[in-house]
Amino acid sequence: MITYQKIALYFNLIRFSHTIFAMPFAILGTAIAYLHYPHLFTWDKFLYIILCMFFARSSAMAFNRYLDKDIDKLNPRTKNREIPSDKIKAAGALWLSIINAALFSYFAYLLNPLCFYLSPVVLLVILGYSYTKRFTWLCHLVLGIGLALAPIGAYIAITGEIHQSILLISSAVLLWVSGFDIIYALQDEAFDKAHQLYSIPSFFGRKNSIYLSRLLHFLSAGLFLFNLYVHHFGYLYFIGWLVFSLLLIYEHHLVHPKDISKIPFAFGILNGWAGLIFGLLSTIDILLKQSFIQQ
């Protein structure tokens, strides 16, 4: 019998709240597509984009929890997650991943043929990420690529093609996500070393990892600003960029080599607000620009 508590457990398993990292940029990609080709936008396409985003991410998270179940059981930080604590069966998480992957592919099919043909590639990246920490410390960049596909996918869903502005946005998202995932991985530096798992902190140490994260976030903010210059977006985009950059600066003020105790707040709260505010203000800016063009 399906109960409210069971549903809540599954939503917690896929970390539904972390959808905030990619969803604003999927919506931003949709807005940029609308700016370039307003006649191609429809509300049903927008709905399918949101559903594709949700199902793809849910599939990836459920698969990650399924694949990492034995690792999570050994890690003091993760041993109370849903599968290690036996609140959810491993088979249930795997089926959840399969069902969500199928639903993602179905709604990609409804969008256009190119989205459908590319859907296996997207699934390969976002599901394949879960294996990467077993053989490469570049796993953080693979996660970044996975989330960077959100604006690209949204743009293709509307237009059936790719534009340079989306590549700039996606590259900035890649660097941003990779940077904060390195920070997140600092929590498991000792565990990863002890169990031969690959991560930048376990290979390069805390200090170097934090410096690399700062560099990636600096480059991310720079690319977002360059996008403003190239495409002549307005003041709301700039305000969004400014808030985004200041929150990243504050994040790195909180997390430094001598103190990583504030990682949960820096990773989840600050990055969540950074992406949400930037995505929202940028989307409004683009919609206002399109409205001005139509006048």
11's tokens: 């939503």
CA distances from 182 to 30, 61, 100, 107, 200 (A): 28, 18, 27, 32, 7
Q: What is the pTM of this model?
A: 0.93
Specify the 3-state DSSP secondary structure of 65. Answer: helix
Distance of CA 104 to the CA centre of its chain: 16
The helix/strand count (H/E) of the chain reads as 13, 0
CA 137/CA 268 separation, integer angstroms: 22
Element (H, E) at 267: none
pLDDT in tens, 73-102: 999 999 988 889 888 899 989 999 999 999
Of 3-17, 26-40, 194-208, 253-267, the range with the lowest mean pLDDT is: 3-17
Give the residue numbers spanning the domain of 186: 4-294
Specify the 3-state DSSP secondary structure of 253. Answer: helix
Orientation of helix 139-159 relative to helix 164-185, angle to 10°:
150
pLDDT in tens, 33-73: 998 899 999 999 999 999 999 999 999 999 999 999 999 99
**Among residues 103, 225, 236, which one has the least CA distance to residue 175?**
225
| 259 bridge partner residues | 256
Please state the domain count of the chain: 1
Helix, strand, coil in percent for the chain, rounding step 5 = 80, 0, 15
What CATH number is attached to the domain comprising 21?
Answer: 1.10.357.140
